[in-house]
């Protein structure tokens, strides 16, 4: 109902971008994953063709477990991209490479802190350079 109302209000106000964050979903909780599927259907019913993007936010500290998490999420909803958060506190960002290889999902943004300006467009070349840099 909240997602439907949000899309309805977005249409009424003529907004270009509407973000819906169904926070608190764990890939191991089937009932919450089923809710995601329902939200997608409700959004599409209100605005045919929507959602145009579905991004999965992964915790960068999860390491290789993030691959399994992404696999299970993509089996419930059509994920079009990733946001990898908490890369400021971990050296486990290598999961990005594993996810890309296993699921061919593009990383759209990375989070390197808790402020909005620390959400950055993902630049693969700069990321690899930072990992392999000897400086």
Q: Give the pLDDT confidence of 37-86 residue by residue, as tens digits.
A: 899 999 999 999 999 999 988 887 777 788 888 888 888 888 999 998 88
- Say what the pLDDT of residue 84 is: 87
Residue 90 has pLDDT above 70, yes or no: no
**Paired residues of 59 in beta bridges:** 85
C-beta separation of 113 from 88 below 8 A? yes
CA dihedral for 8, 14, 16, 21, sign (positive or negative): negative
Helix axis angle, 30-46 relative to 2-13, nearest 10°?
A: 30
d(CA 122, CA 135): 21
Query: pLDDT value at position 59?
Result: 82
Q: Is the pLDDT of residue 105 over 80?
A: yes
**Given pLDDT bands bounded at 50, 70 and 90, which one contains residue 114?**
confident
**In the chain, what percentage of residues exceed pLDDT 70?**
93
Q: Quick one: average pLDDT of 90-109?
A: 78
Output the average pLDDT for the chain. Answer: 85
Q: What is the pLDDT of residue 72?
A: 83
Please tell me the predicted confidence (pLDDT) of residue 52.
94
Q: What is the pLDDT of residue 48?
A: 94
pLDDT at 93: 64
């Amino acid at each position: 109902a909240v997602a439907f109302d949000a899309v309805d209000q977005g249409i009424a106000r003529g907004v270009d971008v509407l973000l819906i964050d169904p926070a608190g979903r764990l890939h191991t909780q089937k009932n919450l994953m089923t809710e995601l599927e329902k939200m997608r259907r409700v959004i599409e019913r209100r605005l045919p063709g929507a959602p145009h993007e579905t991004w999965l936010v992964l915790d960068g500290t999860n390491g290789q477990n993030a691959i399994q998490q992404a696999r299970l999420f993509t089996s419930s909803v059509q994920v079009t991209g990733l946001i990898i958060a908490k890369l400021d506190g971990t050296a486990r960002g290598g999961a990005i490479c594993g996810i890309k290889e296993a699921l061919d999902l593009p990383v759209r943004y990375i989070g390197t802190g808790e402020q909005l300006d620390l959400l950055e467009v993902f630049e693969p070349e700069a990321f690899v350079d930072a990992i392999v840099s000897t400086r």
